[in-house]
């Protein structure tokens, strides 16, 4: 879980510092209570010595998955939900998070709290903590790695959407101006040009053969007055 948190903070920092994002965009998140409760529950189940850790972890994972799926419009939400689901599912069917013996020996760590050393009776042990991290005494699961990538993308896209919002606003302003022009021409009895968005105007290329310009109209000569008395 620590990798997911680090990736989320890294994605948020990248969006704010490099892409001009803003923490005010957090208000765009749907199902925020479910996400907050789920995150708190995962932290409690992972690191605090409380009873019923597996149950807390399962409920918290369910809240996170449901909350993330409510935000499918933000890139990275579905990937994060899949990763959390895989790790939560292995806890659900075993009652603990399996830790591979090889991984524990490689990092010289003990199985404590939510984690237990896998046995021959462990189901889907491949979804447990079997991947040693090169830096630090940690062993993580494939679900953690998937959720880590998703969390980075999710927070980066969430907090870095100012540029896209400005483009959409500019496009809406251009469309409003076209509508105003069309209405103005109609009031003056002139044919109104078709209304297109700014994005459409930039992408449309006229491949038609240009027509020849009309010949200039020559005004008839003025009538010649004759002398009636000549």
Q: In which domain, by residue range, is 15 found? A: 2-160
More confident call, 148 vs 138: 148
What pLDDT shows up at residue 230?
A: 46
Whole-angstrom distance between the N-terminal and C-terminal Cα of the chain?
115
- Cβ neighbors of 169 (< 8 A, separation 6 or more) are none
- The answer on 120 and 37 residing in a single domain is yes
CA distances from 172 to 158, 161, 168, 196, 226 (A): 22, 17, 6, 11, 66
CA angle, corner 30, sides to 28 and 32, nearest 5? 100
- The answer on 149 and 121 residing in a single domain is yes
- 214: region left, alpha or beta (phi > 0 left; psi from -120 to 50 alpha): beta
Asked if the structure places residue 127 within a domain, the reply is yes
Q: How many domains does the chain have?
A: 2
Specify the DSSP class assigned to residue 63.
H
What pLDDT shows up at residue 16?
A: 78
- The answer on 182 and 68 residing in a single domain is no
> 3-state DSSP helix/strand/coil percent for the chain, to nearest 5?
60, 5, 35
Point out which residues pair with 129 in neighbouring strands: 99
- The answer on 169 and 139 residing in a single domain is no
More confident call, 14 vs 195: 14
Residue 78 CA to residue 81 CA, distance in Å, equals 5
What pLDDT shows up at residue 13?
A: 86
Its pTM surpasses 0.85: no
Q: How confident is the model at residue 112 (pLDDT cuts 50, 70, 90)?
A: confident
Asked if the structure places residue 125 within a domain, the reply is yes
Q: How confident is the model at residue 152 (pLDDT cuts 50, 70, 90)?
A: very high
Task: State the pairing for strand pair 131-132/97-99.
Answer: unpaired
Mean pLDDT of 87-96: 96
Specify the DSSP class assigned to residue 129.
B
pLDDT tens digits along 21-34: 555 556 678 999 99
Residue 61 CA to residue 35 CA, distance in Å, equals 9
- The answer on 147 and 79 residing in a single domain is yes
Asked if the structure places residue 218 within a domain, the reply is no
Residue 25 CA to residue 19 CA, distance in Å, equals 13
């Amino acid at each position: 879980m620590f990798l997911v948190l680090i990736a989320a903070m890294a994605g948020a920092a990248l969006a704010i510092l490099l892409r001009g994002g803003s923490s005010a965009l957090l208000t765009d998140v749907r199902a925020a209570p479910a996400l907050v409760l789920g995150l708190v529950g995962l932290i409690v189940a992972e690191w605090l010595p409380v009873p019923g850790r597996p149950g807390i972890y399962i409920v918290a994972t369910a809240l996170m998955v449901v909350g993330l799926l409510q935000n499918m419009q933000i890139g990275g939400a579905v990937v994060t939900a899949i990763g959390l689901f895989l790790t939560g599912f292995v806890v659900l069917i075993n009652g603990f998070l399996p830790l591979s013996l090889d991984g524990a020996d490689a990092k010289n760590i003990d199985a404590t709290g939510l984690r237990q050393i896998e046995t021959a009776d462990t189901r889907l042990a491949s979804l447990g903590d079997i991947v040693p991290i090169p830096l630090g005494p940690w062993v993580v699961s494939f679900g953690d790695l998937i959720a880590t990538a998703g969390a980075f993308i999710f927070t980066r896209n969430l907090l870095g959407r100012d540029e896209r919002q400005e483009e959409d606003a500019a496009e809406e302003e251009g469309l409003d101006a076209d509508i105003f022009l069309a209405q103005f021409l109609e009031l003056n009895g002139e044919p109104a040009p078709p209304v297109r968005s700014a994005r459409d105007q930039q992408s449309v290329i006229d491949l038609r053969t240009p027509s020849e310009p009309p010949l200039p109209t020559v005004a008839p000569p003025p009538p010649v007055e004759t002398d009636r008395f000549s």
